[in-house]
Amino acid sequence: MAKIAGHNARVLLGSRDLSPDVNQATLSLSAEAPEATGFTDTYRVRLADGIRDVELTVDGFFNSSASKIDSILFSTLGASALTGLYFTGLSSSKLGREFTGILTQYEPQFALADAAAVSFTVTGASAIYHMTSLGGSAVNAHDIPTISGVGGSDIGSVDLKGAADTTNDSYISIRLLTLSGTTPEFSASVQYSADDTAWTTAYAVVSLSPASIGDHSGSLIHLASASRYARVAASLSGTSPCATFAITCGSVRSN
């Protein structure tokens, strides 16, 4: 990826887009290198393949309006949420980093003659999957489709691994961002395929309402699979329903 400016970056916490109130984000990827130096060693000896960790620290502006950054962070503190930093925005085949983490710190900041600010930190949870941007080969893709009207729609398939990738698992997640209409309901399923022809449903969420947008677990799917291809099937019910949702996919490796 070429050198970029940060003005298009996006931050998602669960199914909430915090980007309008954010002006700085720092993603820290680290790995332990346990020391194994013996008495006879001239130089320090450290072990490779230590446990990886990931942490996202974000700064922004305090916003106390309903469903904005203050209420989102206050209600999520201590909880786990799928977290993403997308360097060049959220559109097809853009690069980003995602992980399941725990919101461990939230700090509103107030100073005379300055805009009220916030800072928060999301720390990677243990024994879950992280993007293989730490060492994998698959391209990570992001898209935000919008569907409207009653009925179903198959979102185009993605080749997550390539013919030569036999080591990493793939994953795909769905986050419901907006849902409007009269008594609208959103359902979706993740489907995998080895040949881009025969599809198997791996998991589904059904009958999500607008209230589900604030549910950081019920409005997303996050699975690992050895299959090469993946797609999303989504459907709407209700009167004049319209939904916008984020699809992110890529390859993963475990901690």
> Which residues, in sequence order, are CB contacts of 46 under 8 Å at separation 6+?
33, 34, 35, 36
Helix H segments across the chain? 69-76
Tell me what pLDDT residue 241 has. 93
Strands (E), 138-228: 141-143, 146-148, 151-159, 169-193, 200-208, 220-225
What percent of the chain has pLDDT above 70?
A: 79
* 224 bridge partner residues: 171
Q: Is the pLDDT of residue 25 over 90?
A: yes
Global pTM exceeds 0.85: no
Tens digit of each residue's pLDDT (9 = 90 or more) over 93-139? 567 777 888 999 999 999 999 999 999 999 987 645 444 433 333 44
- Mean local confidence (pLDDT), 44-54: 88
Tens digit of each residue's pLDDT (9 = 90 or more) over 187-246? 988 888 888 899 988 888 888 888 877 655 555 666 666 777 888 889 999 999 999 888
**Domain spanning 6-130 has what CATH number?**
2.30.110
Domain positions in the chain are 6-130, 141-254
Q: Is the pLDDT of residue 41 over 90?
A: yes
| Span 141-254 CATH architecture | Sandwich (2.60)
Residue 156's pLDDT band (cuts 50, 70, 90):
confident
Tell me what pLDDT residue 138 has. 41
Report residue 200 as tokens. 């198997």
